[in-house]
A = this chain, B = another copy of it.
Amino acid sequence: MGDSPADSSLRAFMGYDMKRAFTAIQSDVNATLQPFGLRMLTFSVLTVIRDNPGLRQSRLAEVLMIERPNLVLILDELEGMDLVTRTRARDDRRAYELKVTLKGRRLCDRAGQAVAEHDARMARGLSAEERAALHRALRQIESNGRSSDDAGEISRP
């Protein structure tokens, strides 16, 4: 039952270890959120709206780094569950202001707690320092990735 040294050279790469850890977390978090009718993605959206009432879809898409079109279905879903509301902005009638309903706020709180507990379980065996170091490392990597966005690609004429 051990994949022994079969993938040992891949283990040297960050991407591989990261993918495996992320897959583990992702599927586990999704299982955790299922009783709430949420997924990792919908939970993220819900949480950001909760923290930023009146947020608009474009901005939300920016924050979560997802494309606007993809957000539409997610919001349809959350709106259909009576967790968020889309109301036209007074000052700009093509935009929507997003808010979380009372029901949404309650669900978000309970789900957030479940995810936190789940995180603790997934981090068993790691000290508080190690967990903090993990977060730092992940953010550093993310920001390194961002900066190479423009650098890489094609040298523009």
Q: Please list the residues of chain A having a beta carbon within 8 angstroms of any beta carbon in chain B.
A: 3, 6-29, 31, 40, 44, 47-48, 51-52, 55, 59, 62-65, 112, 115-116, 119, 121-126, 130-131, 133-142, 144-146, 148, 152-153
Given contacts A22-B19, A25-B18, contact A47 B123 (CB under 8 A): no
Interface SS, A side: helix
Determine the chain B residues whose CB is within 8 A of the CB of A59 once the complex forms: 6
Known contacts A13-B116, A17-B139; is-contact A7 B125 (Cβ 8 Å): no
Residues of B within 8 A of A142 (CB): 17, 20-21, 24
Partner of A6, one of B52, B124, B131: B52
| 26 A–B contacts from the bound complex (CB under 8 Å) | A3-B63, A6-B55, A6-B59, A7-B51, A11-B135, A12-B116, A13-B116, A14-B131, A14-B134, A15-B119, A18-B22, A18-B25, A19-B40, A20-B65, A21-B139, A21-B141, A23-B145, A24-B141, A24-B142, A25-B141, A28-B148, A31-B153, A122-B141, A125-B140, A126-B140, A134-B134
